[in-house]
Structures are given as C-alpha cells and as structure tokens.
Amino acid sequence: MNRDDLPLVAFTLLVQLALGAVALAAMAPLRVPGAAGLVITLLGVAAAALVVASACSLLHLGVKAGALRALRNLRTSWLSREVLFTGLFTALTLAAAAGALARLPVADFLWLVTLTGFAAVFTMSRLYQETIHPAWTTLYTPVSFFAAALTLGAALGAPLVQTSGALAPGAAALLLRDIVLTGAAGVTAGLAATAVYAGDLQEGHLPLAARLLLTLGGLGLLTAGWYGPLPWLTPAGSFLLAAGELFGRVRFFAQGAA
C-alpha cells in the first residue's frame, strides 16, 4: 500500500466508527432506561473520532490551507459531497455531545445526526466507486463501508455497556445482546462482500483467511462475553473485530493502488 494512503485508512474507519457509535447512541435509550451516561460516552468517542478523522483527511492533502476549496464542485464531484456531509456530521456530532453533556434532550436530534452520518459514509463509498480502480468500483465498497460502521459500532459499544455502572444488570444484558446481534449482522455483510470481492480479484487465500480469523474470532469472543462470566472476553473480541476491519481496509487501499 502507498504510505500516502495511510491517513485515508484512518479517516474512513474513524468516520464509520463514529456512524456506528452515533446510531447506537440514538437507539440505546429506546431499548433500555438509564442509558444517558452511555449516550454521553458514545457521543464523546464519536466526536473525538471525527475530529481525528478530519485531521487525517487534512494530512492527505498537498495544500492543507486550501481544504475548504474542496467544497467548490458539489455539482459533479463525490469528493466535494463527502467533504460537505462529513463536515456536517462532525459539527452535528460535536453539538449532540455538548448537548448530552449539558443534559439537554438530544434523542430526536440524534436521528438527524445518524442520517447525516449515513450520507457521509454513502458519499464516501460513491467517491471510491467513481474511480478507475477495478477493486473499488464494485458494490463491495458501499457494503463493506456500512458493514464496518455496524461492526465498529458494536466493537465500541459492547465493552462500554459491560462496564457501564448506570445500567441495571437486566438492561445491560439486553443491550449487549442487541449489540452482539448488530455486530454479527455487520460481520456477515462484510465477510460476504469480502469473499465475492476476493474471488473477483483472484488473490491468494492467506489474506482472506487472516481476515476471517480476526473477524470471526472477534465475533466469537464478543458473543462469549455476552454469555460468559469472564470480563476480558468482550474487550478482547472488540479488539479483534477492530483489527479485522483495519486489516481489511489496508487491503482495500493496497488493491486500489495505481
């Protein structure tokens, strides 16, 4: 992989993590009572991830001072649209985090933030689909990007729920089950797309096996953490899931190299 693309690996993953976190923050209070603390933590992590993501996207530019000029061609450029929606998503997430911290009612507002995050990830995937790199122009790109949002959201949410003292044990177990199921949906969609994608590229079995090992291992540990009494299973599962997404994204950029 071209070293210049490393900021984009971080940028894409962090925006997708933020979408997963914000969506979880929007849904958690509907499922269980007493989730206000969890919502603040999720929004705080999402806001921090988006601030770091914005810095990463700047690092990729040759002329950082001209970054705002990237908004000039909204009519035809998916990159301009991605900059617009990611900027909106970042601003709204920061506002939601500040509002939640101030104990303001942000529940309805979070759905607008989630929608903006969805638009940010959609425009991001269209951007890569509109290139001339065969590895990026297929449906794999949007499927894997949204699957990463689900997977990373679950990887973040599970240990936070497990360690949240404010949730009643029954509520925490219910929320953890929802998160594990969401993660399983993300993993299934992501791996299904990866298998098709890897088959099209006729690449070797080793990278696919490594991705499967990390992601399925992570999901297994996360599921075991939901059932089992060992507290380290959930964070270990989250770590493996995140490592699987990172591995997959590095391969994505390596295969798109000119």
Partner 1 sequence: MATQLGFHVDMRKCTGCRTCSIACKDKNDLAPGQLFRRVLEIEGGSYGETGAGAVVPHVFAYYISIACNHCDQPRCVANCPTGALAKSPADGVVSIDQAVCIGCRYCTWSCPYGAPQYNPAAGRTNKCDLCAGLRAAGEEPACVTACPMRAIDWGPVSELRDRHGGTMALAALPDPGLTQPNGSYTPHRDAGRRLRP
Q: Which of 103, 202 has the CB closer to partner 1? A: 202
Q: Which of 131, 164 has the CB closer to partner 1? A: 131
Eight-state DSSP code of residue 105: -
CB of 51 to partner 1, least distance (A): 20
* Residue ranges in contact with partner 1 by CB under 8 A: 4, 60-63, 66-67, 69-73, 76-80, 83, 127, 130-133, 256, 258
CB of 55 to partner 1, least distance (A): 15
Please check whether residue 128 is in contact with residue 16, taking contact to mean a CB–CB distance below 8 angstroms.
no
CB of 203 to partner 1, least distance (A): 18
| Residue 107: how many other CB atoms lie within 10 Å | 14
* Cα–Cα dist 221/128, whole Å: 32
CB of 199 to partner 1, least distance (A): 20
Q: Which of 82, 178 has the CB closer to partner 1? A: 82
CB of 211 to partner 1, least distance (A): 24
* Cα–Cα dist 41/214, whole Å: 26
Burial of 132 (0-12, 13-18, 19+ CB in 10 A): exposed
* Cα–Cα dist 169/184, whole Å: 22
User: Among 195, 193, 194, 189, which Cα is nearest to 219's?
Assistant: 189
CB of 94 to partner 1, least distance (A): 23
Q: Which of 67, 185 has the CB closer to partner 1? A: 67
Q: Which of 71, 94 has the CB closer to partner 1? A: 71
CB of 132 to partner 1, least distance (A): 5
Biggest CA-to-CA distance, the chain: 54
Q: Which of 53, 127 has the CB closer to partner 1? A: 127
To 10 degrees, the CA torsion angle through 180, 181, 183, 185? Answer: 170
Q: Retrieve residue 44's tokens.
A: 């705080």
Q: Which of 102, 258 has the CB closer to partner 1? A: 258
In terms of phi and psi (left: phi > 0; alpha: psi -120 to 50; beta: otherwise), the region of 202 is: left
Please check whether residue 93 is in contact with residue 113, taking contact to mean a CB–CB distance below 8 angstroms.
yes
